[in-house]
């Protein structure tokens, strides 16, 4: 209800408005962006390492034959 009221009154922002908002965000947070992106990249790498470790554990567990 609230979303339809707001979008009905103002509409979705266009390309120029989004560009202006992005420019303002860059001016406000520009000096923090490199460190933010660096830490986000490290987080993604650590997440992928964790997923790969779990996949390796599952593969090794399924490759082992039960003792008979």
pTM of the model: 0.50
Give the mean pLDDT of 1-10: 63
Distance (Å, whole) CA 56 – CA 60: 6
Residues 8-57 pLDDT 10s: 667 788 899 999 998 998 898 888 888 988 999 999 999 999 999 998 88
Instruction: Provide the pLDDT for residue 6.
Output: 58
User: Per residue in 15-29, pLDDT tens?
Assistant: 999 999 989 988 988
């Amino acid at each position: 209800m609230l979303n339809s009221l707001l979008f009905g009154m103002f509409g979705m922002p266009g390309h120029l408005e989004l560009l202006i908002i992005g420019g303002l965000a860059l001016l406000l947070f520009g000096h923090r962006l490199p460190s933010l992106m660096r830490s986000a990249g490290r987080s993604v790498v650590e997440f992928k390492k964790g997923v790969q470790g779990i996949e390796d554990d599952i593969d090794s567990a399924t490759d082992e034959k039960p003792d008979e």
